[in-house]
Amino acid sequence: MTIPPAVTTARALVADLVTRGVQDVVLAPGSRSAPLAYAFAEAADAGRLTLHVRIDERAAGFLALGLSKGAEGAPVAVVTTSGTAVANLHPAVLEANHTGLPLILLTADRPHELRGTGASQTTDQVGIFGSAVRFAADIPASAGFPTPSNAAAPSNAPAGSGASPSGEPGGEPGAEAAPELRDLRHIAGRAVSAALGLRSGHPGPVHLNLAFRDPLAPSAPLPGLPADTAQEDYPRPDPPLVVPAALQHFASPALPGDPERTVVVAGDGAGPEARRLAEAQGWPLFAEPSSGATGGPNAIAAYRVLLGSDDLAGSVEQVVVFGRPTLSRPVQRLLGRPSVTVTVVAPGAGPWPDAARNAAVVVPGLAPVCFEAAAAERSPFLERWQAAGAQAARVLDEVTCDEAVLGGPTALSVARAVAAVLGPEDLLVVGSSNPVRDLELVLGLDGPGPAVLANRGLAGIDGTVSTAVGIALSAARRGLRTRALLGDLTFLHDVGGLLRGPDEPPVDLEIVVVNDEGGSIFATLEHGALAATGDAASATFERVFGTPHGSNLAQLCAGYGVDHQLVKDVPTLRHALQAPSHGVQVIEVRVPRADRLAESRDLARRVIEAATASR
């Protein structure tokens, strides 16, 4: 059994930081930073350091600063995932810079091949803190390195840490250790020295930006596993043909792939052109909620689940992409298939979305003739996808109808109730993580639904309450009513967004908070599957990914002078959303989290079985 290079790298770094005097680390949960989360949790369980977990990266940064100040300048590490999570450290970094406190900022990042491709939660993190840090390094994703065959990991350091064969935690790596391990330890040493101001006499924050390549989690609980790793093959794709923006449009409606087996993918901000193209050409439409292209006869319900069928996914030979699709891994896998021809429509001069690095053609737009009806009859390919989508919708109706949730609401049933109540004259702001994915599955089951807006640029959960307030203020000028659908962590992350001074313009906004007491999104990823392997893995998952908070939302809202209502069933939720509202109101719906992984897998199985049986 092997440990992925990302996990091995993180364990080696953690062991080295411990030997250099790091005793406290503050961790904010995230997926790309998972290798560090596992490594720090392991070190904390072994008594090597103290782990502090905070949901809000801004709070995490200031907690680390306070820990360092209270310890009279001891180095404290703080860990974030990629994207906006990194930017949220900036206020604490500035404070540490001006007060001379040694913070070690460990920010996870995508590997180099995903940077600049539009991959979810990927931005330019190199040098993000500018002159506020004493030292900064961008560390590339590791290919992995072996532990010397004649040496077991010492009991006081994580396995694979690069400790010496003698067991001395600070010793040199064995002869078989790869050079990148020595490089990593050298950079860590420079960073800690700069943070402490050992040469300059000017301590302060330092920044290590750590790229991690999938897989991000061990295949089994860490204790007792060997530290050998396997080299993964990442072939370099051929560069895409980029059509200059000056051409503006295709000269003809001909696309490079097979028009009989083409689908349209509409990511965030795609706009109505994506739907128009799909309907004109008779192609299936895979539209994210915030695409602006949802609905219509060609929209395929639960398309991301249906892509789990090799038969259905394998039938696609061409994809035309609008907007930035970042919501689902199945769509990214489809876009990365070597057998699929990908055309990206990317107006403007910015980078085009191509996280799979498989685009054949990139154009700023399509010729007007492409949007003219091309076929009078539906193709068998479209009919097949429509039939599969209809079966998926039937299954979704069965699991989210009122009769199915008599024992209490589920996250999916809440999303459906919100979408069903709201119409075209309403705006819905949806939070990242599970709410937007739940909405994607149920949007359209009960009609066209509302216009959906979301912060999908980096897909972070931060600032969503404030974003919703701003949207509500603007929408009111157009006579539109705004609601928001958020998870509990997203709400808590920006609960300060509820604060408004008495002289500020009034705002009407209803916020539906789906409270499952933690981060259920991680249960649906590989971390949830690992957590099911045993009690120790489950405890680690709950601590660093599930992050239960125990917050009383009613009391929080009362502190901000905001109305709060706890609803216990779906009919009451619908009634609350249909009633007149004034000011900011929070509607809390409590749903279970424990069975999220099993429910997700069961739903996928039922959808694919129903779609297969319908052929």
Tokens in use for 204?
A: 């302060």
CA distance 464 to 471: 10
Over range 465-479, report the average pLDDT: 91
pLDDT at position 259 over 90: no
The answer on pLDDT for 64 being more than 80 is: yes
**Residue 449 domain-assigned (yes or no):** yes
**Residue 132 confidence class, pLDDT cut points 50, 70, 90:** very high
Lowest mean pLDDT among 98-112, 237-251, 385-399, 564-578: 237-251
Query: What's the number of domains the chain is made of?
Result: 3
What pLDDT does 594 receive?
85
Contacting residues for 477 by C-beta, under 8 A, at least 6 apart? none
Q: Is residue 49 part of a domain?
A: yes
On the question of pLDDT at 513 being above 70, the answer is yes
| Helices 380-400 and 596-613: angle between axes, nearest 10 degrees | 140
Average pLDDT of the chain? 86
140 and 196 in a single domain? The answer is yes
Asked if residue 420 and residue 316 are part of one domain, the reply reads no
Query: What's the pLDDT score for residue 438?
Result: 97
Residue 121 scores a pLDDT above 60:
yes
**Is pLDDT of 243 > 60?**
no
Residues 431 and 284 in one domain: no
Structure tokens at 508: 């009407």
Does the pLDDT at position 163 exceed 70? no
Positions of E strands within 517-562: none
| Mean pLDDT, rounded, for 310-322 | 96
Q: Which residues pair with 179 in a beta bridge?
A: none
Q: How confident is the model at residue 116 (pLDDT cuts 50, 70, 90)?
A: confident
User: Residue 249 pLDDT > 60, yes or no?
Assistant: no
Cα separation, 361 vs 242, in Å, equals 6
Q: Cis peptide before 450, with omega less than 30 degrees from 0?
A: no
* Percent of the chain residues topping a pLDDT of 70: 88
493 and 542 housed in the same domain:
yes
Q: Is residue 370 part of a domain?
A: yes
Per-residue pLDDT tens digits for 550-570: 999 999 999 999 999 999 999
Banded pLDDT at 179 (limits 50, 70, 90): confident
How many Å apart are CA 334 and CA 304, to the nearest integer? 10
pLDDT at residue number 376? 61
| Contact by Cβ (8 Å): 363, 243 | yes
Strands (E), 89-204: 103-109, 135-139
For residues 497 and 535, state if they share a domain. yes
Instruction: Specify the DSSP class assigned to residue 429.
Output: E
In this structure, the answer to whether residues 271 and 324 fall within a common structural domain is yes
- The band of 443, judged by pLDDT with boundaries at 50, 70 and 90, is very high
Q: Is residue 391 part of a domain?
A: no
Whether residue 537 lies inside any domain: the answer is: yes
**DSSP assignment letter at 522:** G
Q: What is the pLDDT of residues 26-59, one digit of tens each?
A: 999 999 999 999 999 999 999 999 999 999 999 8
For the cut 70, the answer to whether the pLDDT of residue 195 exceeds it is yes
511 in Cβ contact with 465 (< 8 Å): yes
Do residues 449 and 416 both lie within one domain?
A: yes
Provide the pLDDT for residue 143.
67
The answer to whether residues 533 and 410 belong to one domain is yes
DSSP class of residue 94 equals H
DSSP states of 361-407 as a string? EEES---GGGGS---SS--HHHHHHHHHHHHHHHHHHHHHSGGGGTT
For residue 253, the model assigns a pLDDT of 53
Domain boundary among 357, 383, 409: 383
Instruction: Work out the burial of residue 294: count CB atoms within 10 Å of its CB; fewer than 13 is exposed, 13-18 middle, 19 or more buried.
Output: buried
Q: What is the CATH number of the domain that holds 358?
A: 3.40.50.1220
Contact 205, 134 (CB under 8 A): yes
Tokens 């460990």 belong to which residue? 106
The whole domain housing 24 covers 5-211
Whole-number Å distance between alpha carbons of 216 and 4: 7
Q: Give domain status of residue 11, yes or no.
A: yes
Band (156; pLDDT cuts 50, 70, 90): very low
One domain, residues 589 and 560? yes
Residue 487 reports pLDDT greater than 80: yes
Considering only residues 254 and 86, tell me which one the structure prediction assigns the higher pLDDT: 86
Where a domain ends, among 351, 383, 415?
A: 383
The lowest-confidence range among 174-183, 324-333, 435-444, 449-458 is 174-183
pLDDT at position 257 is 73
Average pLDDT over residues 558-586: 95
What's the confidence (pLDDT) of residue 251?
A: 41
With H, G, I as helix, E, B as strand and everything else as coil, classify residue 285: strand
Residues 362 and 429 in one domain: no
| 409 and 274 in a common domain | no
Is 174 found in the same domain as 31? yes
114 occurs within a structural domain:
yes
Domain of residue 472, CATH code: 3.40.50.970
pLDDT of residue 338: 94
User: What is the structure's pLDDT at 250?
Assistant: 53
Q: Cβ distance 362 to 354 under 8 Å?
A: yes
Q: What is the pLDDT of residue 120?
A: 87
Lowest mean per-residue pLDDT among 14-18, 173-177, 254-258 = 173-177
Give the pLDDT score at 171: 36
What does the pLDDT read at residue 177? 42
What's the angle, vertex CA 166, arms to CA 160 and CA 171, rounded to 5?
70
| Tokens (6 digits) for 47 | 């008594």
DSSP assigned state of 586: E
Q: Is residue 130 part of a domain?
A: yes
pLDDT category at 244 given cuts 50, 70, 90 is low
Per the model's pLDDT, the better-predicted residue between 87 and 375 turns out to be 87
